[in-house]
Structure 1
Amino acid sequence: MTRMTGAGLLDAVDAVVLPCGAGCAEPDPRFHAEALRLPGARAEEALFIDDIPGHVEAARALGPAGLVRTGTAETPARIGEFVVGPGS
């Protein structure tokens, strides 16, 4: 979260849902269902981030876009591309 804050990304997103607050963990589909129950949440506007490709694929199967995190340095830029579009 610190890197997201430093990159100004928390101001660009509506919510951040972490497994510890959802009562279950990925790839449990209940995690994604819980996140999509937030007011105004839409699967096509959601981004799931994990460093385990299978967890990302499980999320994509339920609707959200997925990002396999390969390192902390590039993750904020990739989140930014999702939020505002590539090259913006």
Structure 2
Amino acid sequence: MVDQIVYSHGIGVCKPDPRAFEVTCNQLGVLPQGCLFIDDVSVYVEAAREAGMQAHLFEDNAGTIARVAERLNEAASFSV
């Protein structure tokens, strides 16, 4: 469903440090509002929102898959 996933341990900056979100956006070549951040820790989800990202608290697979699909549909409507 997505082209790339960025893990904080892979970029060497721990969440909720704002630099983690900045590095992620730089690595993906997108603005924060172009990202959907998903995590199961609410503090990290809130930090992502504060960084300007869309964010989703992972609670179950079905809800998260639905949120990713919703985001992809939103992105597709902007590119038309």
Question: What's the TM-score once normalised by structure 1's chain length?
Answer: 0.73
Unaligned runs of 5+ in 1: 1-8
Q: Provide the aligned length of Structure 1 versus Structure 2.
A: 75
Which of 64, 68, 75 is residue 57 of structure 2 equivalent to?
A: 68
Which of 20, 24, 30 is residue 41 of structure 1 equivalent to?
A: 30
Q: Distance in 1 between matches of 2:12 and 2:27?
A: 15
**Please, what is the CA RMSD of the aligned residues?**
1.8
Unaligned runs of 5+ in 2: none
Question: What's the TM-score once normalised by structure 2's chain length?
Answer: 0.80
Deviating beyond 4 angstroms after TM superposition, the runs of 4 or more aligned structure 1 residues are none
Share of identical aligned residues, percent? 33
